[in-house]
Amino acid sequence: MGVYLVQFLSGLASASALFLAASGLSIIFGVTRVVNFAHGSFYMLGAYFGYSLVHRLGGGAIGFWVALLLASVAVGLVGLLVETVILRRLYKAPELFQLIATFGVILIVQDAVFWAWGAENLLGPRAPGLTGIVRIFDVPMPLYELALIAIGPLVLLALWMLFNRTRWGILVRAATEDREMVGALGVNQSLLFTGVFVLGSMLAGLGGAVQLPKGDANLLMDFGILAEVFVVTVVGGMGSILGAFLAAVLISELNTFGILVWPNGTLVLMFILMAVILVIRPTGLLGRPETIGHKTETGASQVVLPAGPHYKIFVALVLAALLLAPLAVDSFILVLVTDILVLALFATSLHFLMSTGGLVSFGHAAFYGGGAYAAALLVTYAATPFELALLLAPLGGGLLALVVGWFCVRLSGVYFAMLTLAFAQVAWSIVFQWSEVTNGDDGLLGIWPAAWASGTVVFYYVALAVAAAGIFLIRRVVFAPFGYGLRATRDSMLRAAAIGIDIKRQQLAAFVFAGAMAGLAGGLFAFSKGSVFPDEMSIPRSFDALLMVLLGGLQSLSGPVVGAAAFTWLHDELISFEYWRLLVGLAIVALVLLFPQGLGGAARHHLGRHLKLEASPGTLQGTAPGKEQQA
């Protein structure tokens, strides 16, 4: 009895620290609509600032708690800098560009912390006066964890008082309901957004600081907490503080007791819980549906036009250059271009889902990895020929997308995106832990193409043919009747339903098609590297695809190809530097600020003045001049 009670109390202590970080993210999203990936970085900074300030101030219990509060304030100042310098310039851009900007902030903060504190883990100081234990039914319980249990409800009460008893809090609540109306009433939205972002950052910093006596400060804290914070925020309901508290308790207790029942399920328990809750209650425990008419993360809808004559000439020249490349470059460059071709197909499949379908997926790597593992397993266990295994790779990605999409298309907006993330994490856990079949973290090795395609040059041509065919097929689908119907569901579900379009079936078909194309890219990747590892299904790989799409531009059908080339080039050129994350992060932020339409969109904007990159709007029935999406 005592053991279970102490474990329950330990779960409550973990829930308090988790709630501090998650409440900040929920507040930020509720008002600014920013999906802040840098929230984990603020959590990590809180731990590092707390470590330094505790050692600087000292002074017993008072000095310790003052140091933790000052650490929270310091993180708030960092949040102020991020909001005013970066995010304030992007509030009018599609919401996903803000997400990518915060991803750049993650990389910048990682190397900044590495430069300031080094790579070693910093053991957290003990809390003066709370270093002992108490015995509950003869089972020891740390005093500090009891203090943590009290901190969570106290912060919840303080936030309730702030949002219900102050004018600023009432404005924040009003902005959560309808921020456009708040602006129409004369409220300075810039100051309101800044205040909310600073408050959310301070809460994340406080969450990291209060965790110090339980562990250490390390460079993995940002990504380590990020997934949990997002799960808590989504399960509780985006923008709901009380929902975040309830979800933090639920998830912390699930992790605490789940290890007793299912030791191998600790990696995915919270994601399974999130998937179940979102399927049953699509807006989370206490969340509200998104405002009707609110434009989703992909930005304004655009009419797609086929390529114009000048664009076709440009594509022909690029293909000719790629065909002749082996005559002019060495094998290293050919391997690099092969990687770009694989990633271009992967990114184009996600771009189709986001741009044409208006569906934002945070877990698209599940289908990329699904295709890779389908090909690898066929080769390993069935001795399947290279050609057949590559042709069946889309089947692996497509079938997985069919299962995942059947649940996900019931949702929309950020809840749809987070449910795809949950299923992707479950898929990653399966291939990571099912070592008898997938060989676990050691991966599947020896997945090489047939002898005739094993040479660098020959496989380059295979990759070029497959990637070009896949991208061309996706483009054809965009201009097929199915593509027009899909865009109708994206632009107005009510109108699409009124004219007889089955919205969920249309979205599910798009999801499966995009998953199959990602699976084809994954199969190509498996044979290009000769191996497959669980990392190909991981969350960072999904974010890579998202980054490539947004760097290239959502409003450009050629954007993902440009984004894949830019992403691969940046990574290859900068990874040799000691602080390569800092450089990549700065480059990402600069590109987002300078080219909010993406590199492809910016190129079209400037070149389109002089070249005919699109067909005339009048050549397509139902198109409207002035709303073209570039080729």
- Please check whether residue 54 is in contact with residue 188, taking contact to mean a CB–CB distance below 8 angstroms: no
138-189 pLDDT tens trace: 888 889 899 999 999 999 999 999 998 999 888 888 877 777 777 777 888 8
Let me know if residue 471 belongs to a domain. Answer: yes
317 shares a domain with 276: no
Does residue 84 have a pLDDT over 80? yes
Does residue 307 have a pLDDT over 80? no
Domain range for residue 457? 308-539
- pTM of model > 0.95: no
Residue 341 or residue 609, greater confidence: 341
Does residue 622 have a pLDDT over 50? no
What pLDDT is attached to residue 266? 67
Q: pLDDT class for 596, splitting at 50, 70, 90?
A: confident
269-280 pLDDT tens trace: 888 888 889 888
Let me know if residue 595 belongs to a domain. Answer: no
Q: What is the mean pLDDT of residues 231-251?
A: 90
Q: What is the mean pLDDT of residues 248-275?
A: 82
Let me know if residue 630 belongs to a domain. Answer: no
Which CATH number do you get for residue 89? 1.10.3470
Look-up: residue for tokens 């497509």?
398
Q: pLDDT class for 45, splitting at 50, 70, 90?
A: very high
Residue 16 or residue 617, greater confidence: 16
Let me know if residue 531 belongs to a domain. Answer: yes
What pLDDT is attached to residue 623? 43
Let me know if residue 627 belongs to a domain. Answer: no
**Among 280, 298, 316, where does a domain finish?**
280
Query: Per mean pLDDT, which range of 204-208, 390-394, 423-427, 556-560 is the poorest?
Result: 556-560
242 shares a domain with 320: no
319 shares a domain with 233: no
438-469 pLDDT tens trace: 998 899 999 999 999 989 999 999 999 999 99
Let me know if residue 130 belongs to a domain. Answer: yes
Q: What is the mean pLDDT of residues 467-489?
A: 92
**Among 539, 567, 582, where does a domain finish?**
539
93 shares a domain with 51: yes
528 shares a domain with 430: yes
Does residue 127 have a pLDDT over 80? yes
Q: Please give the Cα distance from 525 to 371 (Å, whole number).
A: 9
Q: What is the mean pLDDT of residues 71-88?
A: 94
Q: pLDDT class for 300, splitting at 50, 70, 90?
A: very low
Does residue 552 have a pLDDT over 70? yes
Q: What is the mean pLDDT of residues 357-377?
A: 94
**Number of folded domains that form the chain:** 2
How much is the mean pLDDT over the chain?
86
What is the separation, in whole angstroms, between the first and last Cα of the chain? 66
121 shares a domain with 62: yes
Does residue 571 have a pLDDT over 80? yes
What pLDDT is attached to residue 384? 93
Let me know if residue 403 belongs to a domain. Answer: yes
Does residue 240 have a pLDDT over 80? yes
317 shares a domain with 249: no
SS3 of 220-252: CHHHHHHHHHHHHHHHHCCCCHHHHHHHHHHHH
Q: Which amino acid is at 476?
A: R
262 shares a domain with 337: no
Concatenated DSSP letters of 511-567: HHHHHHHHHHHHHHHHHHHTEE-GGGGSHHHHHHHHHHHHHH-TTBTTHHHHHHHHH
512 shares a domain with 441: yes
Closest CA to 413 of 549, 239, 556: 239
Does residue 301 have a pLDDT over 80? no
Q: Please give the Cα distance from 382 to 389 (Å, whole number).
A: 10
**Among 260, 280, 300, where does a domain finish?**
280
